[in-house]
Structures are given as structure tokens and as C-alpha cells.
Chain A
Amino acid sequence: MAHVPAEDQLEHIAAAIDEIATADVQRLEQLRTSLLGRKAGALTHVLRSIPALDAEQRRTVGRRANELKHAIESAITARERTLAAAVGTGPAVDRTMPGRRRWRGARHPITQVVDEICGIFRELGFSRIMGPEAETEEYNFTKLNIPLDHPAADMQDTFYLKPGVVLRTHTSPVQARTMERYAPPIRVVVPGLAYRRDPFDPSHAPVFDQIEGLVVDEGVSFVDFKAAIDFFAKRFFSADTAVRFRPSYFPFTEPSAEVDAQCQNCRGTGCSTCKQTGWMEIMGAGMVHPAVFEACGIDSERYTGYAFGMGPARIAMVRYGIPDIRMFFDNDMRFLDQFLE
């Protein structure tokens, strides 16, 4: 081809560019080789010949050859893309792409436990009520058979607001308020906050949730009490959960009991959660002390009843495996996100 002038060769090459836009994959490869190939490429040939040309030709041929080189390269790239797109378009909708979600909110984990517990007692005919958190000493202590000059008053370290007024140390004052307001039969559960002067540590908080329960009617006995608590524990934990009643002392119940459920972590064989005992304490409870009835204007000969108090936060910690009670008050979004229902 040496006898063909470089200018003519270039015009020839330029004519080939149009074909690139319609070439199929095979033809495109042929064109690339025939035009730009290192050995036999027509344009490569022209470019190599440039140093042998005279000065003027070198300038014009050189400029034109470079223009063409760019044009050919971009035409090939564009065609490649088009061809690739034609074969790889994929489905119109990629159904593995993430869907559009909305924010969701969760009830606080303690609320979830409280609601579940109250729901179980509702099956046993308990209604759900509340009472004040700032109480008089009379309702918090005296009416509950806790004389202030008795060591039993030391069982709870109390926040005082003013003389005779405290932050309730338990939800039990609502027992007295309910008995004064309603006639038996009474069956109520009372969720709410209680306050004790315990500094924060992994298992104590100065403010904590409690659920009080109270039943008053004629003929309510220790057997009724055991049956209700056993029903609750088996419904809340599982039907095969063992429940243990241990004698204990609370000024406002007699007989009094600490109620233990089989440790849910080890199923009773002993582990660090239950301090190797196989049991976990779930509530303090007992038959309503006649002195409490008398302080609330209820005939203690005619009526009997039972009462209980439990800590849903402690129960939530066991249920969800939460190591530190303070997490309930931190309101970390990553924590709360875990309790979506």
C-alpha cells in the first residue's frame, strides 16, 4: 500500500467509521483489528509512515490521523456499550432490590411485659387501675400495717417530699385506696412506678415498675391465692414451669409468701442467673392482713383476700436477657428497635 498517498488512505479509513455504528460483535472486532491493530491496522500503518513524510504533509496527515483515531475509538466504545446493553438489560424489575419501609415504633419492653401480665390477670377477672405516685405516709405505711416505729419500715428506704408525704415505695397504697372506694368483690391489678432510695446499679434503680394485685371477697382462701398465682406463672412462662411458695414476711399480708418460678434460663438445674438455686423470685404475696382491712373500713371477719406485688423490669431482664436495668432508661434507639412487635 506504500504507493497509495497517506491522505487517500485516511479518507478510506474515515469511510469505515460509519460501519462501526451498525456492526455486530464479530464485525466490530474485525473493524478494530483492521483499523487499529498493532500489526495490520490501516490507521496504525498511516501513523507509522508519518515520520517519512515531508514537513507539511507530516502536519496535516498527523492531525487528521489523530482525529480519526479518537473518532474510531469512541465509536467502538459506544457500539460496545449498545451491544452490551442489548444483551444484558436484565428483568424490567429486579425484585431482590430492597422494598420501601416505614418507621415503626415499639412499646417499651417493660410496657410489653406489664401489658402481658395484666392481660393474664384479666383472664382471671382483674381490672386494671392506677393510683398516685406521691403518697401520704398514712397510705404508704400506716394503713398497710407498717408502723413507722417498727423495723419493717426499714425494709424500704424512702424518698420524702415533705413531712408526712413520700414517693410511694411500692404500689401497695393503691390497695387501701381501692378498698376505701369500692365494695367487694374486688379484683384489680395496678401497674405503676415506685421509688426507693437505692442508687442505680445493674439490678437496682431508684425508680422502678411494680404491679400490685388485690382480691377481696367473701371466702377467698390461700388455695385461691395459690391457684391464681400458679395460673399466672404457667401462662406467663410456660405450662411446665414449676412454682414454689416460700413462707416470708410482709406487714400487710399474712400468711405471706415469696413466690419463685423455676429459672427460665437453666430450667431449674442451677445457673448464674438464678445464683445456682434453680429458682427465680417473681413476687412477694400473701393473704391480706386483717389489720389492713380494718384500716380500710372492711369487715375483716366477713372478707378475706390476697395481694401480690411483682417487678416487671426484673422479669423483662430475665425474659430478654438484658444485663443492666439502666438500659431501660437510656432510650437508645438501637435498644428500642429490638423490641418491635
Chain B
Amino acid sequence: MYASLNWLGRLLGTELDPQETAERLTVVGATVDAVEPVHAELGDVVIGLVEQVGKHPNADRLTLCRVSTGKGTVEVVCGAPNVRAGMKYPYAAAGAVLPGGFKLERRKIRGVVSNGMLCSAKELGLGADQDGILELDTVAAPGTPLLEALDLADTRLEVDVTPNRPDLLAQRGIARELAAAMGLTVKLPAFEGAPAVPAARRVKRSGSVGGIEVIVEDDEGCPRYGAAVIRGVRIGPSPEWLQARLRSVGARPINNVVDATNYILHEINQPLHAFDINDLRGGKLIIRRANDGERITTLDGEDHPLTSEMTMICDADGAIAIAGVMGGENTEVSDETTDILLECAYFDRRRIRATRTALRMDTDASYRFERGTDLEGLPAALRRAVELIIAVAGGEEPEAAIDVCPRLPQPTTVFLRPSRVEHLLGVAVPQDEIERLLGSVGFTLAPRDGRLAVQVPGWRPDVTREVDLIEEVARLRGYDSFPVEMRPFRPTTVPDAPSELRSALVRQVLTALGIHEARTLPLGPVGGEHAQPVQNPLSSEETHLRTDLLPGLVRSVERNWSARARDIRLFEIGRVFRATTGATPPVETLRIAVVLTGARQPGHWADVSGIDFDLWDLKGMLEEVVGVAAPGGAAVAPDGADGWEVTGPDGTVLGRGGELDADGPPWAAPLFGIEIDLAVAETPAVRYRALPTTPPIERDLALVLPATVAAKDVEEVVRGAGGSMLESVAVFDEYRAKELVGRSVAWRLVFRDPSRTLRDAEVDRSVNQILRALKERLGVERRES
């Protein structure tokens, strides 16, 4: 929302400094995002005095003028019919930049050099009048900047208005905040030429004004409807001051009646609508719910279907406006309009929100009604609007306006305990200070039963409970006035989330293993039948929530490949989602995924180069990840395809690892991936085991395994037959050769008894037992050396 510094200054009766004003507003919560001069684009334009008008030698319709520019006299070619010697006009020299970024150059027009240009209102963005150059009735000397001469110089503040403060959407609301900060009062200026307008007559549900019967049937959607009839207006351009005001807040002048309604909108946040009475059929104006299936064509030419959840303004024959959103084209004010009915209403906030959402129409009016206009201030707004319209467009009221209002609004009263102010703000604020602060922005206070009864002004619909008033006190006193003081606090009852602790541990282990943490988008293309769709996705690439982390990581690998990176190691900890039936949210699971490709370690000059990650790196990594991500214990076993599956103690599949398919360049190394659920179980506490003091005895066994026997089978038999002396079993070699039927795998067995030193003979017996068992159960024998 734009505030005009001149306009605010007029309401406050003082001159305002732009930066100081911006600062004042920001500290009370109306943050100023930008301060910019209005009409900055006219900075190059000055007053030019035409001293002499001569004929252009080569063109009948052009004149050759001698123009005094303050810096001397130049010859300017002019095409305007209204140029006269002795008059002043806006003059732009060659090199000046005009609105729209148009840069003026010195050039020949029909063979004669023109040094700059005399400008029309349209060329300056000051109006639509194209009939000729802008005649200036000013005493300013030639060379005076136009902005100065016309009093156009103004500063515009861009204010970030929060949705709870509809009052700040108008100049008066902003001015009130400044008035409170500066100890001033806000006074709406009288309009020159305005008659004394009588107050509106209040009626309950219907009444007649200027021959029009106004009936409010839907008082839920429209609790208050003010209507005035003005006859004999002359539609035309607004006076310059009114146009300037509108331009200063970014609005476009249209004609005097429309401009007047827009002025009131921007001054006091009351949207208005003018109907052409001669287009009203049947002399009636009815405010009612729409009938389902009813339609209306609005001012913008769009046709809209309506429902009974919308409030309409109708004449005897049908809808003529969508209440609080937009008027219809059938009753629009035109250049020929002479008699108008002016609507000044309060529409229900929720009704307007629902209507404009359903119709997808966001208008200046709906924006304000939805946030809440001033229900109590409505009659005053109507009166001021009538004054302004008559002042700028003429006409008169045949009779006083009416104010249709079934139940007069009662001002809201909120009770405030000064003790509660201290309780919440941490600082005791004296009662007289509270009264002064709240009074400064329009609250009325009276002590009652040890509390303050605070009457809320109509323009503050956001204030409904005590805490709203406490915020007002804090805000108006200034947040800076509260000390930064660390006071004692009690420890929390909430423990750390186990998943957060576990994630931190996983990050620690995986970064130490040389893997970077990645982040991918949880939104992506459909990933399987259990993918949860998004109802309103941003793009066709992001239609579902992910069911797995790996696809996103593979996309990241491919992006790295396209950046010519070959060595890529990434992991991600993130949620995956599985759709559910019914109204419940999808099931979320925390996962960890890893991708690996390229060199196992950075290349080194002294090493054999080019060793890439292989299947055994993947399996080892999988075991590491399982160790930290599944502290409750999990088994890694071949998955029946090319990879491994991870299963929990209860047999549920927790994840898998293996080589991945990816669209890699020819130079890329194989890509491996791991994805498993991140368990939140606690790691079993470490129990210390006594360190052995007796010596071990080692035995190496090279065994020939037939094709059907797996290393895991051999280990199981070895452990089973080895007895309690067998401390560890580990593969240390594999050998395949043509002369062998099967392959030779070598194990190192370590024997130890923690209580005594073992003798070779008993270990030999144990080894023989193991060999017997292997032969009987698996047909595995020792390799002949």
C-alpha cells in the first residue's frame, strides 16, 4: 500500500520528513519497504515560456516557437494547436528522459532543428488530455522545475500492511499512527465547493432515497447499507488536485465521480460504488443472496455464475453488482450519466472472502471488505463522499441519504488488567501511560472494577481481547523500551527426539567415511503405486511426494556427471511418504540413502591409479550404514538379484543396497546405492569385556567349495563345530583355478581360552572336528597343496 507524504502531511497539518516518517511507521509495525519520489520521471521537465510563435517554413500545421527555458532561448518545433506566445508550458530539453523511459533527442522536424519539446499532459503521464500541450497557469519563472511549479513533488512510502490492520490501508489510518507518535491529531480537510450535506436517515431494513427504494434482504451478508442519490452531476475530468492525490498513491484518474469514490477509498478505507440511476430498472435496489445459477457480467466484461453464498446488489430485474467485489456493466457510470446512486456499505468479511475466492476476483474493494471496514464510521464516510462528489462533479441531493441498518453496531469493549500488561510484557507500565498510549490511537478508556474498560474504535476490528490491547501497549511504547535482560528459567520437560540424535550420529559416521550430505526435493514425479499425489502441484515434474530417496540422489549424480565429475559420494537423510486411504495424512518414514561412484580414494602418485568403488566397497558401506542406522540389529543378505537386502530382527525388510542403473557417460564408473530406514531404537549400551591375557593359536584352512556352497554356510558349520575355544573366523583369500572343481577359499581361525594357554594338540583336535563336519554336511574338503 502506498502512502503519500503530502497527503499525510495535509491530514496532520504539518510537513513531514520522508526518512523520519518511514522510521516512525516501521517502529510501530507499519513497516516501510521503500521511500521513493512521486513523478521522479518528470525531474527533467521545466517551465518554458513561449516568447514568439512563428510559422514553420516547410509545414503548415507546425509552428516554430522561441522558448525561454531559463538557460537561454531556443527554437522548438511544435505541432500543438493551442500554443500561444506569452504562455508557459512544460518544456523538456534534448537529452531529457520522459515517462516511459523515452529519451528526447535533438532532431530535425521537416528540415528545421527542434531543441527539445513542449509537452502535453499525456506525454507527462499527468492525464489523458491529448488535444494540445499543457497550459500552465503559474507565476514560476522559466527554468523552474515542473514538479516545483505545480506542487507535484511528493514522496511515496510503500507500506507493508499486515492482514490484521485494514485501517492502515488508507491515508487516515497511517496518519493516525503518525499522530500518536508525534503528538498530533488527524483532521480531514474540508472540500472547496462542497455544500453542507445532511446526515443520513437511519432506517431498519428498507427505505426510499431520491425515488429509489432500497431493501436489504440479506442483512447477514450486508449488515449496513448507506445510499445517497445525487442528481445533475456532470461527468468530466477531476480537478488537478484530486488527480494528483490519486496518482500519488498509484491510482489512475478516470473521471470526477469515479475519482471521488477512489479518493474516499484511499483516504478513509471505505469502498464506494456509483450506479447510474437511469439504468436501474423498476426504481428498486435490493441487497439479497444470489440465486443459484444466476449470472452477471461485471465491469470488466467477464461473465460470472453465482451461488446463494454470494450477496448481490439487484434492481427490479436482476443482479447489477457483486456486493463488495465488482459492479456490473449494465449500471456503470458513463460520460452521459447525470444521476447517480452512491453505495456506501459494510459487507460481511467472510462472505466477501468466500465470494472473491470462488470467483477468483481480487479487487481493491474486496481486499478491504475482506479485512474489515469501519462499520461504525460508515455514515460519516457516506456524508464525506457526497460532499466530494458534489464539489467536483456538481449536482445535488434531492433528499438526505439513507442508512439501512437493522441493528446499530455497539462499540466493542475489551477489559484490560494493568497487572496482566506487566505479566506478559515483563515490565510494569503505569496505568496513566497505558491510558495515554491507547488513547493516542483512538481507544476510549474508563476504569471499572480495578480494570480498564477499553472501547475499541470501529476501524480496529483486529482488537477483540485483552492480549490485543497488551500488544498495542507494547507497540506504541516501542519494543526498544523493553530491556534485554536474561532472567532465570526452568529446564524443559521435553527430551531430544531420538530420530534427531540418530540422524546426527549417521551424519557423523558417513561424513567420516568420505561422503557428502545432499538435499533433494521431497516432491517429484510419481514413484510407484503408493506415492502420495499433491492436489495442486507447481509443475508436472513435482506431482507426488517421494517414496524413495535414491531417485533424487541418482538425479544429483547425473547432474554431477554432466558437470564432468566422476568421483561422486552423496548421502541424504530424509522423509519418504506412503499414501494412506481415508482422511489421514500419508505415513512418513525417515530414511538414509547413499550413492557411490568413481575412485575409492583420491589418486596418489605412489599408488596404482584408477581403483574404483566396487561391489565389496558397496557391501562394506552397507554394513557400516546398517550398523549406525539400525542399532537394534539387522542382517545383510543377498537379495536374490544382484544386491543385498537388509532385514530387521522381526524379518521386516529395512532396505537394500546394490549397483544402480543410471544414464552415465561412457567414462563414468559403476554406480552403487544404498537405502534403508533410519531406526529410532536406542543403541544397546556398551558392556566392557575383559581383555584376554592368554595367547591365541591361529590356524589357516584353505577349503575347496563346490559350486553350491556359499561362504556363509561354511562359516556356520565352522562356528558350530569349533567349540568354545574358537574365538574368530575370517576369510582372507579366495582362489579360483581350472584344476579346481569349485573354488578355494581360505579362512583364518583363531582359538583361545581366556582362562589358560591352549596346547597345539587340542586345537588340532578341534580343527579335525571342524573338517569332519564340513565334509559330512557340505562336502567341503581341505585343499591339497
Q: Which residues of A contact B (CB under 8 A)?
A: 97-98, 100-108, 110-111, 115, 124-130, 132-136, 149-152, 154-155, 159-165, 167, 178, 182-188, 191, 193, 195, 197, 199, 206-207, 215, 217, 219-224, 226-228, 230-231, 243-249, 254-258, 287, 289-290, 304, 328-334, 336-337, 341
Contact = CB atoms under 8 A, between A and B. Distances in A.
Given A107-B511, A197-B538, A289 B467 contact: yes
Interface string B547-565: 0000001001001100101
B496 interface: yes
Given A105-B511, A105-B512, A110-B519, A134 B585 contact: yes
A149 B604 contact: no
Interface string B713-725: 0000000000000
Contact of A103 (B483, B556, B601): B601
B483 A223 contact: yes
B583 A163 contact: yes
18 contacts: A103-B514, A103-B601, A105-B515, A127-B495, A130-B499, A134-B585, A182-B494, A195-B523, A197-B536, A222-B426, A223-B427, A224-B426, A227-B485, A230-B484, A249-B164, A287-B424, A329-B519, A333-B560
What 5 pairs between A and B have smallest CB-CB spacing? A103-B514, A221-B426, A247-B29, A223-B426, A249-B162
Contacts of B500: 128-130, 191
B493 A182 contact: yes
Contact of B601 (A102, A128, A136, A231): A102
Contacts of A182: 493-494
A154 B349 CA distance: 14
Contacts of B517: 105-108, 111, 336
A186 B536 contact: no
B31 A246 contact: yes
Interface in B16-34: 26-29, 31
A67 to B, nearest CB: 42
B602 A102 contact: yes
B764 interface: no
A333 B567 contact: yes
B356 to A, nearest CB: 11
B516 A254 contact: no
A183 B492 CA distance: 9
A178 B494 contact: yes
Contacts of B553: 331
Given A133-B575, A155-B163, 12 more contacts: A134-B586, A160-B534, A164-B583, A165-B585, A191-B500, A199-B538, A226-B483, A226-B484, A247-B479, A254-B468, A255-B475, A329-B521
B163 A125 contact: no
Nearest to A131: B497
Contacts of B726: none
B575 to A, nearest CB: 6
B176 to A, nearest CB: 15
B520 to A, nearest CB: 6
Given A130-B500, A255-B470, A333-B560, A108 B423 contact: no
Contacts of B563: 332-334
Contacts of A217: 489-490
Contacts of A206: 521, 523, 538, 542
B515 A127 contact: no
Contacts of B514: 102-105
Given A133-B522, A246-B31, A161 B532 contact: yes
B363 to A, nearest CB: 14
Contact of B489 (A125, A164, A188, A230): A125
Contacts of B423: 219, 221, 304
A94 to B, nearest CB: 11
Contact of B350 (A149, A244, A255, A304): A149
A127 B538 contact: no
Contacts of B545: 134, 161, 167
Interface string B428-454: 000000000000000000000000000
Nearest to A164: B583
B487 interface: yes
B721 to A, nearest CB: 40
| Chain A residues touching B, majority SS | mixed
B353 interface: yes
A164 B535 CA distance: 11
A43 B40 CA distance: 97
A195 B536 CA distance: 12
Contact of A100 (B353, B536, B569, B607): B607
B688 interface: no
Nearest to B568: A333
B556 A247 contact: no
Interface residues of B, number: 95
Contacts of B371: 151
Nearest to B160: A248
Nearest to B467: A254
B534 A127 contact: no
B354 interface: yes
B513 interface: yes
The B contact surface, by secondary structure, is loop
A111 B507 contact: yes
A126 B492 CA distance: 7
B482 interface: yes
Nearest to B26: A246
B645 interface: no
Contacts of A244: 480
A52 B114 CA distance: 102
Nearest to B533: A161
Contacts of A149: 350, 353-354
Contacts of A287: 424, 467
A38 to B, nearest CB: 44
A161 B535 contact: yes
B454 to A, nearest CB: 16
Contact of B494 (A106, A115, A127): A127
B313 interface: no
B31 A248 contact: yes
Contacts of B522: 133, 193, 207
B396 interface: no
Contact of B570 (A126, A256, A331): A331
Nearest to B585: A134
A284 B87 CA distance: 58
A187 B494 contact: yes
B616 interface: no
A142 to B, nearest CB: 15
B491 A185 contact: yes
B8 interface: no
Point out which of A97, A110, A246 has the most chain B C-beta atoms below 10 A from its C-beta.
A246
A336 B518 contact: yes
B419 to A, nearest CB: 12
B487 A227 contact: yes
B535 A185 contact: no
Contact of B605 (A98, A155, A163): A98
Interface string B454-486: 000000000001011011001100011011111
Contact of B516 (A133, A258, A333): A333
Contacts of A331: 516, 518-520, 553, 556, 559-560, 570
A101 B520 CA distance: 28
A182 B487 CA distance: 23
Nearest to B31: A246
Given A207-B523, A227-B484, A187 B425 contact: no
Contacts of A132: 585, 588
A337 B518 CA distance: 11
A223 B485 contact: yes
A207 B490 CA distance: 35
Given A105-B512, A105-B516, A161 B565 contact: no
Contacts of A226: 479, 482-484
Q: Which of B424, B504, B514 has the most CB of A within 10 A?
A: B424
Nearest to A187: B492
A207 B523 CA distance: 8
A93 to B, nearest CB: 11
